[in-house]
Amino acid sequence: MALIVVIDDDEAIRTLIAAALRFEGYEVAEADNGSAGLALVRGNAPDLVISDVNMPVMDGFAMLQALRADPAIQATPVILLTSLQERAHVRTGMTSGADDYLTKPLVFEELLEATATQLNRQLMRQTVQEQAVDAAIGQALREQEKKLGRLYEKKMLAELADKWPSAETLIEDQRFSSASVLFVDVVNFPALAEKLSSTELSEVVREFYKNAGDTLYLFGVFHMQFVGEGLLAVFVGSTDTDTVNHGLRATRAALGLIDAAQRVQAFLLSHFPGRSLPRFEICVGLNSGAVTLAKLEDPLWGSAQVLPVGDSVSTTLQLQKQATLAGWKIAASANLLREVAGAVKTGRRKRFSLPGRSGAVDGTEVLGIAP
Q: What is the pLDDT, as a whole number, of residue 357?
A: 76
Strands 282-297 and 304-309, how do they pair? antiparallel
| Cα–Cα dist 280/204, whole Å | 9
| Cα–Cα dist 223/309, whole Å | 12
Domain ranges across the chain: 3-131, 165-369
Helix then strand then coil, % of the chain, to nearest 5: 45, 25, 25
194 residue type, one letter: E
Q: Which of 91, 127, 130, 86 is nearest to 104 (CA)?
A: 86
How is 94-123 classified by DSSP, letter by letter?
Answer: HHTT-SEEEEESP-HHHHHHHHHHHHHHHH
The alpha carbon torsion through 128, 134, 138, 143 (nearest 10 deg) reads: 40
Cα-to-chain-centroid distance, residue 75: 19
Cis amide bond preceding 77, omega within 30: no
Q: For the segment 321-341, what is each residue's pLDDT rounded down to a tens digit?
A: 999 999 999 999 999 999 888
Q: What is the pLDDT, as a whole number, of residue 168?
A: 46
Cα-to-chain-centroid distance, residue 46: 26
Q: For the segment 136-154, what is each residue's pLDDT rounded down to a tens digit?
A: 666 776 777 777 667 656 6
Measure the N-to-C terminal CA separation of the chain; round to a whole number of Å: 20
Give yes or no for a contact between 87 and 214, defined as CB atoms under 8 angstroms apart.
Answer: yes
Model-wide pTM > 0.85: no
Q: What is the pLDDT, as a whole number, of residue 213?
A: 87
| Cα–Cα dist 281/219, whole Å | 21
Give yes or no for a contact between 192 and 278, defined as CB atoms under 8 angstroms apart.
Answer: yes
| Cα–Cα dist 357/361, whole Å | 9
Is 31 strand, coil or helix? strand
The class that CATH gives domain 165-369 is alpha beta
Q: What is the pLDDT, as a whole number, of residue 327?
A: 94
For residue 197, give Cα distances in angstroms to 91, 193, 194, 203, 231: 36, 7, 8, 10, 22
Q: What is the pLDDT along the chain (371 residues), one digit of tens a residue?
A: 889 999 999 999 999 999 999 999 999 999 999 999 999 999 999 999 999 988 999 999 899 999 989 999 998 999 998 875 555 666 666 666 788 888 888 888 889 998 998 888 877 777 666 665 556 666 776 777 777 667 656 665 565 455 444 444 445 788 999 999 999 999 988 999 999 999 999 899 889 988 888 889 888 899 998 888 789 999 998 645 455 789 999 999 999 999 999 999 999 999 999 889 999 999 999 999 999 998 876 555 555 678 899 999 999 999 999 999 999 999 999 999 998 888 899 999 999 988 877 788 999 999 998 87
Q: 366 φ, ψ to 5°?
A: -100, 130
Q: For the segment 187-234, what is each residue's pLDDT rounded down to a tens digit?
A: 988 999 999 999 999 899 889 988 888 889 888 899 998 888 789 999
Determine whether domain 3-131 maps to CATH 3.40.50.2300.
Answer: yes
